[in-house]
Amino acid sequence: MAIVIKGEYSKRLGLPGYSSHQYSISVETELSDPNDIPGEASKMYSMLQNSVDHEIQQTGFVPGESYGLPENGSVQQNGNGSGHAPERANLNGNGQVRWSCSDKQRELIGNLMAENNLDPASVEEIAFDRFGVGMPQLNKIQASALISEIFAITEKRQRSHNGSK
């Protein structure tokens, strides 16, 4: 009777720019003696771990801070020395501000602010502090990070509110 053992090892590493990469290897082998299972399992795990650790060192493409921004990626000065990009440069045909992130992200940011009574100016300031641009100029990666930050702020508020009861 053949005994089949399978092993898998996977590792995910966080990278700059809200990026990450993951590498996984799986192996299957047959044994004929059940007494070989502990030694073969240990050997397999060590081999998988060493292989993944060796291969994952090659990070490949890591997006820079301007990744996902419009092609020029430049932030213009607004006259007072700050790096805030002027909103008039990002208007649609109806004179409304066009957001750089996805419509779903824009909608979620708006809903989170409304549902949690967050001051839009405060959230805008978080965007400027963190990314150097206002909410409409956030790319998809930056908008995702802002959404995570809004969730963290609201969770912190809820915990402090619940703890004071």
- What confidence score (pLDDT) does residue 42 get? 94
For residue 78, name the pLDDT band (cuts at 50, 70, 90).
Answer: very low
Q: Can you read off the two tokens belonging to residue 38?
A: 């502990």
Q: Is the pLDDT of residue 68 over 80?
A: no
Rank 72-86, 129-143, 149-163 by mean pLDDT and report only the highest.
Answer: 129-143
Of 90, 89, 81, which Cα lies nearest the Cα of 132? 81
| pLDDT > 90 in the chain, percent | 32
Least confident of 14-28, 63-77, 98-112, 147-161: 63-77
- What confidence score (pLDDT) does residue 36 get? 92
- Report, as an integer, the average pLDDT of 132-148: 90
For residue 40, name the pLDDT band (cuts at 50, 70, 90).
Answer: very high
Q: What is the pLDDT of residues 89-137, one digit of tens each?
A: 454 455 556 788 998 999 999 999 999 888 888 888 888 888 888 889 8
Q: Which residues pair with 29 in a beta bridge?
A: 5
- Report, as an integer, the average pLDDT of 68-78: 50
Of 26, 18, 27, 25, which Cα lies nearest the Cα of 53? 25
What is the residue-averaged pLDDT of the chain? 79
Q: Are 8 and 44 in contact (CB under 8 A)?
A: no
- Spatial CB neighbours of 63, under 8 Å, sequence gap ≥ 6: 17, 19, 141
| pLDDT > 70 in the chain, percent | 76
Q: Is the pLDDT of residue 62 over 80?
A: no
End-to-end CA distance of the chain: 64
Residue 146 burial (C-beta neighbours within 10 Å; 0-12, 13-18, 19+): buried
Q: Where are the beta strands (DSSP E) in the chain?
A: 3-15, 19-31
SS3 track for 100-127: CCCHHHHHHHHHHHHHCCCCHHHHHHHH
